[in-house]
């Protein structure tokens, strides 16, 4: 068996390790406000700022979480296309590394959110637009108007997000396309 590589953090300057810890902590809080599991966000942060790929063990140690938890969250991140497995020659263990291109990270997260948030709304609205009843009933008018407006909005949001997800960054639409022209 090969010698284990000395853990990276032993060589980190104090300042850098503190900064990493704060970044991981902050990204975790942010993540949970985003509806993303806090630990998943922390694992993501850890991999985002690591120069080298890490193993399940590294993640467990650095975040003080269990094996099961580490495994589940890494798999979810792989599912989201934010993390990938790396094969290291001569090692049996799996190593993980995060996508570092922030635009890609952002669009992949957006894609997941669209899938979880907007797509189901669109479906429900389509269904609800078929309700029928007395067109003179003010309650009916209120309902159908609201649903129709939401549909218009959600359709537009769908196509805006699709365009965004497909877009080449262009660094993020140069000053938002000259303030939307």
Chain positions contacting DNA, by CB under 7 A: 1, 32, 37-39, 55-57, 64-69, 71-75, 91-94
Please give the Cα distance from 41 to 31 (Å, whole number).
5
Which partner from the list DNA, a second copy, none does 48 bind, CB cut-off 5 to 8 Å by kind?
A: a second copy
The strand order across the sheet containing 54-55 reads: 54-55, 95-98, 83-86
Which partner from the list DNA, a second copy, none does 87 bind, CB cut-off 5 to 8 Å by kind?
A: none
Which partner from the list DNA, a second copy, none does 172 bind, CB cut-off 5 to 8 Å by kind?
A: a second copy
Q: 30-54 burial by CB neighbour count: b if 16+ within 10 A, else e?
A: ebeeeebbbbbbbbbbbbbebeebb
Which partner from the list a second copy, DNA, none does 37 bind, CB cut-off 5 to 8 Å by kind?
A: DNA
Please give the Cα distance from 95 to 56 (Å, whole number).
7
- In the complex with a second copy, which residue's Cβ is closer, 94 or 103? 103
Could you tell me the smallest distance in angstroms from the CB atom of residue 42 to DNA?
8
Which partner from the list DNA, a second copy, none does 38 bind, CB cut-off 5 to 8 Å by kind?
A: DNA
Please give the Cα distance from 152 to 76 (Å, whole number).
33
- In the complex with a second copy, which residue's Cβ is closer, 57 or 137? 137
Please give the Cα distance from 38 to 73 (Å, whole number).
10
Which residues form the interface with a second copy (CB under 8 A)? 8, 11-13, 15-16, 18-20, 22-23, 26, 29-30, 33-35, 48-52, 100, 102-103, 106, 116-117, 120-121, 124, 127-128, 131-134, 137-143, 145-147, 149-150, 152-153, 156-157, 159-160, 163, 167, 171-173, 175-177, 179-181
Please give the Cα distance from 135 to 131 (Å, whole number).
11
Helix or strand (DSSP H, E) at 21 = helix 14-33
């Amino acid at each position: 068996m090969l010698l284990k590589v000395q853990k990276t953090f032993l060589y980190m300057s104090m300042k850098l390790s503190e900064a990493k810890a704060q970044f991981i902590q902050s990204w975790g809080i942010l993540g949970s406000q985003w509806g993303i599991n806090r630990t998943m966000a922390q694992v993501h942060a850890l991999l985002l700022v690591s120069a080298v790929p890490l193993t399940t063990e590294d993640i467990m140690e650095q975040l003080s979480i269990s094996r099961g938890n580490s495994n589940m969250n890494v798999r979810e991140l792989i599912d989201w296309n934010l993390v990938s497995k790396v094969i290291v020659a001569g090692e049996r263990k799996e190593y993980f590394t995060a996508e570092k291109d922030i635009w890609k990270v952002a669009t992949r997260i957006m894609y997941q959110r669209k899938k979880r948030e907007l797509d189901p709304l669109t479906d429900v609205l389509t269904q609800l637009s078929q309700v029928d009843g007395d067109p003179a009933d003010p309650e009916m008018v209120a309902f159908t108007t609201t649903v129709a407006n939401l549909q218009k909005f959600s359709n537009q949001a769908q196509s805006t997000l699709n365009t965004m997800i497909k877009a080449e960054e262009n660094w993020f639409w140069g000053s938002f396309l000259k303030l939307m022209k």
